[in-house]
């Protein structure tokens, strides 16, 4: 959920105006959005240090200004939070904002557990002050869900994505971009947590609702992974073939992204016990990779394709061709 979506929702703008503004102004989902309450001086968002003053002069020599490190910025945010807690208590808008900003900085620094702890506190405080469905609460809940994923806790993250999905679907509908994002992240967390049937259901729904070819392809890849893990190889193959056809049209058969999907398709055939199909797919991908081997990443993929093609030949009883590749 972007800060801009929350801000616009709070002003009571119509859905049409809201959607247009989000499309043009929303930050990417990877960002942990630092919220700012209106009309009150608040600390700068994490990652946006206050500008430094001019450096001191010593004679004719001018020293370079020191650049704040991530640790220095985190320390500043920690002091700000302590000061606001002492002045206003924990359940105050400025304090909640400061805690969210500190948690965001911890996440950016890779201090995953510290980030989760602060986001959890900020969420509890936001629920107490604003309620469960307030836009500011939703922003912090999304930040917490991302932090839990980053900390390797998909089951805990899924609980928050479930809440976000329910709220967004009720307010904006299933096809809204923020709803689709919540459903996608929920599917990813289910898959990583081993809830494969639930993951498949949400991936399939997201594929139907998402806008954009590239986004749909990524969802199909996630769906194919969940199907593969469930042992539903033929269904996984169907999804991979659709993505492969689309990438060939858009990017060409020798593009790294196309070759990666082609490789996955060959491996899926192997897992399904379809040795002849695996040989055909991996051989075709291997030849395309050899013709596009100028890219270092393609060269590395070519070696993996060679190895897997040899394995497919061996599984198909074609030992001579397997030995020629090894």
Ramachandran angles phi, psi of 271, nearest 5°: -65, -30
Residue 144 is assigned to a structural domain of this protein: yes
Is the same domain home to 127 and 253?
no
Q: Is the pLDDT of residue 46 over 90?
A: no
Picking from 126, 150, 174, the residue at the C-terminal end of a domain is: 150
| Lowest model confidence (mean pLDDT) among 44-48, 176-180, 223-227 | 44-48
Residue 294: the pLDDT is 81
Which carries the bigger pLDDT value, residue 291 or residue 61?
Answer: 291
Residue 34 is assigned to a structural domain of this protein: no
Is the same domain home to 2 and 113?
yes
Residue 301 is assigned to a structural domain of this protein: yes
Residue 86: the pLDDT is 94
Q: Is the pLDDT of residue 83 over 60?
A: yes
What are the tens digits of pLDDT across the range 152-187? 999 999 999 999 999 999 999 999 999 999 999 999
Is the same domain home to 99 and 3?
yes
Q: 99 Cβ partners below 8 Å, 6+ apart?
A: 81, 118, 121, 122, 125
Percent of the chain residues topping a pLDDT of 90 = 77
Residue 67: the pLDDT is 81
Residue 51: the pLDDT is 33
CATH of residue 98's domain is 1.25.40.10
Q: Is the pLDDT of residue 247 over 80?
A: yes
Q: 226 Cβ partners below 8 Å, 6+ apart?
A: 187, 190, 191, 196, 199, 200, 203
Residue 171 is assigned to a structural domain of this protein: no
Residue 146 is assigned to a structural domain of this protein: yes
CA distances from 6 to 1, 136, 185, 234, 326 (A): 7, 7, 19, 42, 57
Is the same domain home to 1 and 112?
yes
Residue 8: the pLDDT is 35
Picking from 89, 115, 150, the residue at the C-terminal end of a domain is: 150
Is the same domain home to 3 and 146?
yes
Q: 80 Cβ partners below 8 Å, 6+ apart?
A: 43, 98, 101, 102
The pTM assigned to this predicted structure is 0.77
Residue 204 is assigned to a structural domain of this protein: no
Residue 21 is assigned to a structural domain of this protein: no
Is the same domain home to 128 and 263?
no
Residue-averaged pLDDT of the chain? 84
Number of domains making up the chain: 2
Residue 266: the pLDDT is 98
* Full residue range of the structural domain in which residue 103 is found: 1-8+71-150
pLDDT band for position 3 (cuts 50, 70, 90):
very low
Is the same domain home to 244 and 142?
no
The C-alpha atoms of residue 170 and residue 114 are separated, in whole angstroms, by: 32
Task: Annotate 286-324 with b (16+ C-beta within 10 A) or e (fewer).
Answer: bebbeebeeeeebeebbeebbebbbbbbbbbebeeebee
Picking from 98, 126, 150, the residue at the C-terminal end of a domain is: 150
Is the same domain home to 3 and 107?
yes
Q: Is the pLDDT of residue 194 over 90?
A: yes
Is the same domain home to 128 and 253?
no
Q: Is the pLDDT of residue 56 over 50?
A: no
Residue 298 is assigned to a structural domain of this protein: yes
What are the tens digits of pLDDT across the range 89-129? 999 999 999 999 999 999 999 999 999 999 999 999 999 99
């Amino acid at each position: 959920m972007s800060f801009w979506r929350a801000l616009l929702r709070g002003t009571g703008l119509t859905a049409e105006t809201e959607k247009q503004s989000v499309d043009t102004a929303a930050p990417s989902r990877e960002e942990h959005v630092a919220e700012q309450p209106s009309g009150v001086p608040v600390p700068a968002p994490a990652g946006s240090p206050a500008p430094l003053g001019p450096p001191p002069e010593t004679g004719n020599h001018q020293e370079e200004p020191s650049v704040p490190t991530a640790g220095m910025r985190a320390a500043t945010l920690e002091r700000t939070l302590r000061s606001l807690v002492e002045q206003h208590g924990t359940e105050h808008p400025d304090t909640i904002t400061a805690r969210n900003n500190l948690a965001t900085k911890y996440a950016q620094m890779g201090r995953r557990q510290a980030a989760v702890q602060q986001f959890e506190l900020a969420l509890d405080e936001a629920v107490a002050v604003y309620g469960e469905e307030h836009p500011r609460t939703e922003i912090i809940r999304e930040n917490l869900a991302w932090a839990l994923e980053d900390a390797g806790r998909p089951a805990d993250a899924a609980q928050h994505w479930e809440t976000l999905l329910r709220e967004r679907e009720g307010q904006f509908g299933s096809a809204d971009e923020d709803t689709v994002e919540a459903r996608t992240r929920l599917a990813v967390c289910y898959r990583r947590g081993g809830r494969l049937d639930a993951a498949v259901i949400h991936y399939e729904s997201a594929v139907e609702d998402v806008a954009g070819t590239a986004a749909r392809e990524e969802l199909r890849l996630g769906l194919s992974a969940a199907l593969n893990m469930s042992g539903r190889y033929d269904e996984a193959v169907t999804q991979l073939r659709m993505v492969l056809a689309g990438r060939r049209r858009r990017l060409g058969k020798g593009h790294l992204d196309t070759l990666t999907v082609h490789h996955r398709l060959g491996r899926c055939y192997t897992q399904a016990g379809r040795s002849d199909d695996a040989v055909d797919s991996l051989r075709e991908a291997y030849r395309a990779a050899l013709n596009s081997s100028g890219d270092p990443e393609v060269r590395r993929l070519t070696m993996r394709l060679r190895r897997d093609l040899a394995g497919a030949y061996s599984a198909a009883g074609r030992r001579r061709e397997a030995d020629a590749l090894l």
